[in-house]
Amino acid sequence: MLYQSFLIKYAEIGTKGKNRYLFEDALMKQIRHAIREVDGDFSVAKETGRIYVRAKGDYDYEDLINALKRVFGIAWICPMFQTENRDFENLKKEVVDYIGQVYPDRRLTFKVDSRRADKKYPLTSEEMNRELGEVLLNAYPEMKVDVHHPQIMVRVEVRTMVNIYSQMIPGPGGMPVGTNGKAMLLLSGGIDSPVAGYMIAKRGVRIEAVYFHAPPYTSERAKQKVVDLATLVARYSGPIRLHIVNFTDIQLYIYEQCPHEELTIIMRRYMMRIAQSIAQETECLALITGESIGQVASQTVQSLAATNQVCDMPVFRPVIGFDKQEIVDIAEKINTYETSIQPYEDCCTIFVAKHPVTKPNVKVIRHSEEKLAEKIGLMVKTAIEGRETVMCW
Ligand code: ATP
Ligand code: MG
């Protein structure tokens, strides 16, 4: 194997002052979770403010990099040569060896960028840059120095060990999951809500999810699709506990009692109420939906306002200002798109009215909801208590 060690660079979490270790620990935990499925034996360690992933023996390089690319909080993944022998003569040999192995075609321009954490090291960084540059030019005459726009920047860091690297593979950015509380995602089988969950998890928020299904109007297969989507999002967010709520009786009752053109909006208000109640029970501090202004009748600004009106918790709608194509682009990137477009029925579309209200008046909607007073309380309680939970990861 060419590389046995990787330096993990993080961006925003570097700025968290005294709480920095919490962020680093969360990042290490997420890295361990993500590389569990990669072939090979790895260790993840923090040493003098740096996180390293090391492989013991053979492993699958592509799989490892792909797994690390899914860990929020990682800005860069740097495959490197690492040596314990800090002697400068040895270092010269290592740098020559590094370039020899990593760049078979050496018609390249380069610059050496040395850093010493240990200021007692016999050479200054300037001296190291100069000497290592010279050694490389002697070993590989086809290489040229370019201090302004080098094709490769050869980074040499003298710490307790010496790190040599030049490749920096971009990570997803964001913050490690687990550093920003927990939120409840309303996860349907569509394109938008998995993307919404991904975006909030990227900011370090742990995710639980709730799915409303309506058997027999929606099938087992439709439910499995949502489990599959939660599992795909979990590749980034870490394990997701999915709450599956049977919504059939509530939907039928609304259908019986309320004007059909208000059905969707009233149904959405009950979804939010139930999601909020489960969120409170599970210590989630916010709700997440995949709503986007104007996408459908239930997502006009008036409809959103009417839906939002039943929530006391903050509702995060990270794709609110995105066009459909922008959401699709992210869905493709995170690999949920193919699953989302599988054609299974959705509980919202089953009882949908031909001409749903697009500008619901909250007073009118409340008045309609009064017709549900007799049974809805018990129905909601039954739905919440009877929910099924599945761990997705
Ligand atoms: P999506 O692509 O996420 O399904 P959509 O464009 O189909 O969204 P709607 O059906 O109006 O839009 O749903 C808006 C949001 O409400 C969804 O993004 C999701 O967060 C939530 N939602 C809708 N249906 C369900 C459901 N059956 N279970 C859980 N959440 C739902
Ligand atoms: Mg939907």
Q: What is the pLDDT along the chain (393 residues), one digit of tens a residue?
A: 899 999 999 877 756 677 888 889 999 999 999 999 899 999 999 987 789 999 999 999 999 999 999 999 999 999 999 999 999 999 999 999 999 999 999 999 999 999 998 888 999 999 999 999 999 999 999 999 999 999 999 999 999 899 999 999 999 999 999 999 999 999 999 999 999 999 999 999 999 999 999 999 999 999 999 999 999 999 999 999 999 999 999 999 999 999 999 999 999 999 999 999 999 999 999 999 999 998 888 889 999 999 999 999 999 999 999 999 999 999 999 999 999 999 877 766 667 777 888 999 999 999 999 999 999 999 999 999 999 999 999
Rounded Cα gap, residues 236 and 217, in angstroms = 31
**Class of residue 131 by CB neighbours under 10 A (exposed 0-12, middle 13-18, buried 19+):** middle
164, 156 Cβ separation under 8 angstroms: yes
Q: Which residue has its alpha carbon closest to ligand 1 atom 20?
A: 289
Q: Which ligand is nearest to the CA of 186?
A: 1
Ligand 1 atom closest to the Cα of residue 295 is 6
Which residue from 32, 75, 70, 27 is spatially nearest to 54, judged by alpha carbons? 32
Rounded distance from Cα 340 to ligand 2 centre (Å): 10
Rounded distance from Cα 349 to ligand 2 centre (Å): 8
Put the strands of the sheet holding 206-213 in their side by side order: 315-316, 286-288, 182-186, 206-213, 240-246, 388-392
Ligand 1 atom closest to the Cα of residue 186 is 30
Rounded distance from Cα 290 to ligand 2 centre (Å): 8
Within a 10 A sphere around the Cβ of 298, how many other Cβ atoms? Answer: 21
Q: Which ligand is nearest to the CA of 214?
A: 1
Please report the pLDDT score of residue 245 as a whole number: 98
Q: Which ligand is nearest to the CA of 230?
A: 1
Question: Which residues face 45 on adjacent strands?
Answer: 52
Ligand 1 atom closest to the Cα of residue 288 is 20
Q: Which residue has its alpha carbon closest to ligand 1 atom 30?
A: 186
290, 319 Cβ separation under 8 angstroms: yes
Ligand 1 atom closest to the Cα of residue 347 is 27
3-state secondary structure 211-269: EEECCCCCCHHHHHHHHHHHHHHHHHHCCEEEEEEECHHHHHHHHHHCCHHHHHHHHHH
Q: Which ligand is nearest to the CA of 193?
A: 1
pTM for the complete prediction? Answer: 0.92
Structure tokens, 69 = 């690319």
Q: Which residue has its alpha carbon closest to ligand 1 atom 18?
A: 290
Q: Which residue has its alpha carbon closest to ligand 1 atom 4?
A: 190
Coil, helix or strand at residue 388: strand
Choose the residue to mutate in 192, 226, 229, 347 for probing ligand 1, maximizing ligand atoms within 8 Å of C-beta.
192
Ligand 1 atom closest to the Cα of residue 299 is 11
Please report the pLDDT score of residue 350 as a whole number: 65
CA distances from residue 227 to 123, 178, 192, 274, 381 in whole angstroms, order as listed: 57, 22, 15, 19, 23
Choose the residue to mutate in 184, 187, 191, 193 for probing ligand 1, maximizing ligand atoms within 8 Å of C-beta.
193
Ligand 1 atom closest to the Cα of residue 289 is 20
Residues lining ligand 1, judged by CB closer than 6 Å? 186-188, 190-193, 210-212, 271, 289-291, 295-296, 298-299, 347-348
Please report the pLDDT score of residue 355 as a whole number: 83
Q: Where are the alpha helices (DSSP H) in the chain?
A: 20-35, 61-68, 88-102, 125-139, 192-201, 220-237, 248-257, 263-281, 301-308, 324-333, 337-340, 347-350, 362-369, 373-385
Q: Which ligand is nearest to the CA of 200?
A: 1
Structure tokens, 338 = 């193919």
User: What's the one-letter identity of residue 332?
Assistant: E
Q: How far is CA 146 from the centre of its chain?
A: 38
